[in-house]
Amino acid sequence: MNIQEFIENFAAQFDDTDVADFTAETKFKQLDEWSSLTALSVIAMVDDEYDVIIKGNDIINSETIQDLYDVVVKLHG
């Protein structure tokens, strides 16, 4: 499990945003394409890829992709 792979998995949930726009420091909720539906795709992706369920508050309290990655690492144990 590494941040680069997480960023790629995260970016795959978006249809219109350029993959190059995603870095660990991307403030994902500020992306034009971000919506409540993208949030659900991210939750499903984290379940599929890392076998953990993140909460709504984990997304609400995360600003960057790195923040969310840190939550997943912690839950993954």
Task: Report the nearest approach of other proteins to the CB of residue 9 (Å).
Answer: 16
Instruction: State yes or no: residue 74 binds other proteins (CB under 8 A).
Output: no
The candidate with the shortest Cα–Cα distance to 35, out of 8, 15, 6, is 15
Task: Report the nearest approach of other proteins to the CB of residue 55 (Å).
Answer: 6
Structure tokens at 16: 């219109």
Main-chain dihedrals φ then ψ at residue 59, nearest 5 degrees: -75, -40
Task: Report the nearest approach of other proteins to the CB of residue 64 (Å).
Answer: 18
DSSP letter, residue 51: -
Write out the residues near other proteins by the rule CB under 8 A. 35-37, 39-40, 43-44, 47, 53-56, 59
